[in-house]
Structure 1
Amino acid sequence: MDDPDTPSVTLRFYEELNDFLPAHKRKRSYRRPLFLSPTVKDVIEAEGVPHGEVDLILVNGASVAFGHRLRDGDRVAVYPMFEALDISPLLRLRPRPLRVPRFILDVHLGKLARRLRMLGFDTLYRNDFGDHEIVEIAAREHRIILTRDIGLLKHGAVTHGYWLRSTRAARQVEEVLERFDLHRLVDPFARCTVCNGEVRGVEKDTILHHLHPGTARTFDVFYQCNDCGKVYWEGAHYDDMCASLSRWLEAPVKGE
């Protein structure tokens, strides 16, 4: 901005919020022209950052809500969600962090949904969910929206959401585990990968009618989904699934 007499605010976005900015605005303070008296939420989203990923805003060093109106000369610092850090002395922009994370995914994330369920996380997914339906369910059931659609996270009713940076499902799993500090909460194979229901151990005799004769002869330990009735056992794919679990849980994500 060339004219120093033009009303403006100084913005600075922190950590992964920089992913939404063009390169010349990342990890630095910069001036933005100010017209009328916009809310800080309006300015943040005009910069391309969805409010669902923001958890703390400081204006001139004081924490403010999304509805705070900006004035010429204000300095605005914007921070991402602090799911793993208690910032209760400051003004959070949502009622509370989701200490027991529950997710809802958009229609493009079916592979990620199956993997998160395999890790034991409550994960809603349907390939016919509409955006408004996702937002309504997330608000009603206190779920975190995971999406590749930045526009979805700009919906006014969204409180908890995350834009996945990667397009690869395996990498997305690592990204979610790191972003929400979930490694210690993993409970492998506790949920049905098909319907998200809880899986429990079951007596072999009660599910024989579901099994092929070869499976019944070879295996003795079985599990069943409480909701859809799908039966699981430690078959040929079990070792591959365990290997995937080990890779995802080895270390925090350091980059793409």
Structure 2
Amino acid sequence: MNGPEIHVEVAPALHLFVPAARRAGATPLGTDGVSTLGHVIESLGVPLTEVGSLVVDGSAVPVSHIPKAGETVSVREVERPQRVPGAPLRFLLDVHLGTLARRLRLLGVDTAYESTDIGDPALAARSAAERRVMLSRDRGLLRRRELWAGAFVYSTRPDDQLHDVLDRFAPDLHPWTRCTACNGLLRQATKEELSGQLKHGTRRSYDIFAQCTECGRAYWKGAHHDQLEAIVERALAEHG
């Protein structure tokens, strides 16, 4: 670009999005004189979903600000807990985050999830239509203008992903109230109501059941309950 030169300083929490040369304080950047500051920051690789504020020469400015020669821009990370006004806090996860989706549902967090790749336009449209925060590791998806809200998932490890989402958004937790398969609400159910779904050993060994009000799936404290309970207890201890 041959327009005005500015200096840009990216917060350490956002360094993974920019080249190593831009991780050492304020570095020079040429602009075209017409693009917004939001566009300039995205061109560096930083999704605007991860930007908490843009500060120019000590004053906060909107993403629509047009940079002027000599300005120093500080790109700051999102403050936590992040508040998302305008709708109840709900999430939408892309195809790569199935384990995270199931764990959020286990904690009673309203979490939609696409188990097949329906494409970025369809995901962004659903985020907007249902007012859900889009969680993804796909920077291109998070740059789509039609998104209602979004957030980058920084880790590839489910334990770290869950901790990060709970720390960033602080959703209300209501464990054991949602179906981990479809996100429907659970209700208490009797053994007799579910007898047609249960194997003989399950009918003999368990007495307390729940059923999804949407897909009808049955739940009981089976072989994996201790592992799931550990996830719930850890989440409640750290974020409850």
Q: Tell me the TM-score normalized by structure 1.
A: 0.83
In 2: Cα distance, 1:53 partner to 1:11 partner: 16
Aligned match for 2:21, one of 4, 20, 24: 24
TM-aligned CA distance change 1:85 to 1:227, over 3 Å: closer
Q: Which amino acid aligns with 1:160?
A: A
Pick which of 42-51 and 165-174 moved more. Answer: 165-174
Q: Offset at 1:85?
A: 5.8
Which 5+ residue runs of structure 2 have no aligned equivalent? none
Measured at CA, do residues 214 and 6 of structure 1 come closer, stay the same or move farther in structure 2, by a change above 3 Å? Answer: closer
Superposition pairs of residues 1-256 of structure 1, within 5 angstroms: 7-26=4-23, 28-82=25-79, 84=81, 96-97=84-85, 100-128=88-116, 129-182=118-171, 185-251=172-238
For the residue of structure 2 that corresponds to 1:124, the secondary structure is: strand
SS at match of 1:207: helix
Classify 1:57/1:97 alpha carbon distance in 2 versus 1 (closer, same or farther; 3 Å).
Answer: farther
Q: Supply the distance in 2 between the matched residues of 1:27 and 1:206 (Cα, whole angstroms).
A: 64
Q: How has the CA–CA distance of structure 1 residues 246 and 98 changed in structure 2, closer, same or farther, with 3 Å as cutoff? A: farther
Contact 1:82 1:97 in 2 (8 A): no
**Structure 1 unaligned spans of 5+:** 87-95
Question: Cα 1:98–1:188, aligned 2, differ >3 Å: closer, same or farther?
Answer: farther
Instruction: Measure, in 1, the Cα distance between the counterparts of 2:42 and 2:92.
Output: 22
> How many pairs does the alignment contain?
237
1:33-74 alpha-carbon deviations (Å, 9 max, x no partner)? 122332101110111001122232222333322222111112
Contact kept? 1:9, 1:73, Cα under 8 Å: yes
Q: Distance in 2 between matches of 1:46 and 1:207?
A: 55
For residues 23 and 85 of structure 2, the distance between their equivalents in structure 1, rounded to whole angstroms, comes to 26
- TM-superposed CA distance for 1:204, in Å, is 2.7
Residue 125 of structure 1: how far off its partner (Å): 1.0
State the identity as a percent. Answer: 38
SS of equivalent residue, structure 1 residue 56: strand
Output the amino acid matched with 1:43: V
* Map of 1:89 onto structure 2: none
* One-letter amino acid of the structure 1 residue matched with residue 76 of structure 2: Y
Contact 1:14 1:27 in 2 (8 A): no
Q: Secondary structure at the match of 1:161?
A: strand
- 2:47 counterpart letter in structure 1: P
Shift, 1:220, TM fit: 1.5
| Residue 27 of structure 1: how far off its partner (Å) | 6.1
The C-alpha deviation readout for 1:104-140, integer Å capped at 9, x for no partner, is: 1111111211111111111111222321111111112
Residue pair 1:59, 1:77 contacting (<8 A) in 2 also: yes
Determine the C-alpha separation between the residues in 1 that align with 2:121 and 2:74: 30
Displacement after TM superposition at 1:222 (Å): 0.8
Amino acid at match of 2:166: L
Instruction: Determine helix, strand or coil for the equivalent of 1:28.
Output: coil
